[in-house]
Structure 1
């Protein structure tokens, strides 16, 4: 079975399975989430196209970016096909309001600096906490005002929602959004080592998430229990080879709440101006919209679903 739960999205596709016995098992649900909606027009249009094709089931919105509000209505036309959440951003972009401690020059710090502050305890200082809480509230409000509803979930641009001094404020915000879920980025070490893709980076991101995972479980906040999609964007390994590795071991049955992160986009001048990740976005978009990805889902007996489909199994 291919596509999101409901009517088949690829009528007439010839099905070939390398393991015929898998057809006797229920398909495994998978949440496929595209980050960075709002970053640039080419990113927005690529994400909308993939949602319309049934090749994505969630997208995370950078509501502080100027391309969110103008393109919110076009995404709203697809609201029944995908979850739409907040991609809480605390790096590299201008914040929506004054942050004299963390962004004194009107621009949020790069990730390395923010991480250093987090693990030295600087983000737990009263002034920093107040600024982060206020900016999170502003980004939620900017999302809600343009979307017409609260976000389905919250995650973090560059995974900042996992950092000390940030994660408890994210959990606080989630507790005020009934039904909203959160992205957890943990993976079993054995799975990361077996995949052999960006192992140090993947283990670092997974390790940062332990505190957040404990917090959301203690509060009963819904979350995925498996995650994949981290790579180095260097292009040494084609995305056509990466996605099968991300899905390795997922197919063949229900019971796992797996979320895979992707970053598709169409390069344009605005994207080149605001971000260094350009051509890998095109490679992801081309692969995700093509027949090779559809065949992979079929071969692995995976159906793409929204978060509610993960809960249903």
Structure 2
């Protein structure tokens, strides 16, 4: 019998605002997502984090490491001189120009891990980055160093934002963004595995966040050419005033949430023979009694 194909569906930006967090909790309660990535540098994290722990027992809860949105948890006079993180474009230029103040970034990495664990009372199940900054040169190594120092090897999976070119082209939708992420993540998978951490195999979910798009149609493309440990990111949530102040991605979050809560998602998965699962449990072998019962 062929091995069942699994898909992990991860909701990003938990903790960004109350509305975004509440929407993700709705999807979580409905069993429509299997992972949540949390932003911990904002004021919403402590209270919303406790609620996530209470209701997220059937999902991987991870750190959405952030260097591009809001305020840092540590003093960063070189990286964030005005007290606000710089935009992604500036971080990318600094990373590839070898101009990142790595001393400040290493401290911020530890602060964000500490704040995550102070609320959840345990390490994250996975680690990724807001706007995929975790794959950038310098940042990736510092992040893996911090994880190794915390002895998270073999316990935590890391998001690989890149995928094979053939898979990206087979999906078609938003291929330019996917290829850009693949370029940024060059060598990332190899370095993560060398350091003793597992990664997803297959990645999709790129969007232009345009309100006129049919998210259900786009989501179908995410299911094409899935990897063995296929991961799809999504950005569901409710729009509130906090979100409008912090992010330009608003109405499409409600469109994504509506799709996740509809009957369309399970129907799509069933047609393709796919099953939602947690990547932290995807490779666990059944116990001897379970294996015997399956024969």
Regarding TM over 0.5, the answer is: yes
| SS in structure 2 of the partner of residue 259 of structure 1 | strand
| SS in structure 2 of the partner of residue 77 of structure 1 | helix
Residues 154 and 174, structure 1, Cα contact 8 Å, conserved in 2 = no
- Name the structure 2 match of 1:131: 104
- Name the structure 1 match of 2:134: 161
| Distance in 1 separating the partners of 2:162 and 2:81 | 33
How big is the shift at 1:76? 1.2
Q: 1:249 aligns with which of 222, 225, 232?
A: 225
- Name the structure 2 match of 1:288: 260
- Name the structure 2 match of 1:54: 31
> Does 2:248 match 1:272?
no
Q: What pairs with 1:74-113 in structure 2 (closer than 5 Å)?
A: 74-113=51-90
| Distance in 1 separating the partners of 2:202 and 2:256 | 21
| Distance in 2 separating the partners of 1:205 and 1:290 | 29
How many pairs align?
Answer: 282
> Does 2:43 match 1:66?
yes
Residues 7 and 276, structure 2, Cα contact 8 Å, conserved in 1 = yes
| SS in structure 2 of the partner of residue 36 of structure 1 | strand
Using the size of structure 1 for normalisation, the TM-score is 0.87
Unaligned runs of 5+ in 1: 1-23
| Distance in 2 separating the partners of 1:95 and 1:183 | 22
- Name the structure 1 match of 2:290: none
| Distance in 1 separating the partners of 2:209 and 2:54 | 31
How big is the shift at 1:236? 4.6
Residues 50 and 288, structure 1, Cα contact 8 Å, conserved in 2 = yes
| Distance in 2 separating the partners of 1:81 and 1:195 | 29
| Distance in 2 separating the partners of 1:107 and 1:162 | 21
| Distance in 2 separating the partners of 1:166 and 1:186 | 16
How big is the shift at 1:26? 4.5
| SS in structure 1 of the partner of residue 69 of structure 2 | coil
| Distance in 2 separating the partners of 1:289 and 1:249 | 24
How big is the shift at 1:202? 1.0
| Distance in 1 separating the partners of 2:146 and 2:125 | 12
- Name the structure 2 match of 1:151: 124
How big is the shift at 1:201? 1.3
Question: What is the RMSD of the two structures over their aligned residues, measured on CA atoms?
Answer: 1.5
Unaligned runs of 5+ in 2: 286-295
Residues 256 and 310, structure 1, Cα contact 8 Å, conserved in 2 = no
| SS in structure 1 of the partner of residue 109 of structure 2 | helix
How big is the shift at 1:187? 1.2
User: Which of structures 1 and 2 has the larger relative contact order (alpha carbons within 8 angstroms, sep 6+)?
Assistant: 1
- Name the structure 1 match of 2:177: 201
Residues 168 and 212, structure 1, Cα contact 8 Å, conserved in 2 = no
Deviations 1:192-249 (A, max 9, x none): 1222212221101012112321211212211112111112112353111011100013
| Distance in 2 separating the partners of 1:56 and 1:107 | 31
| Distance in 2 separating the partners of 1:50 and 1:92 | 24
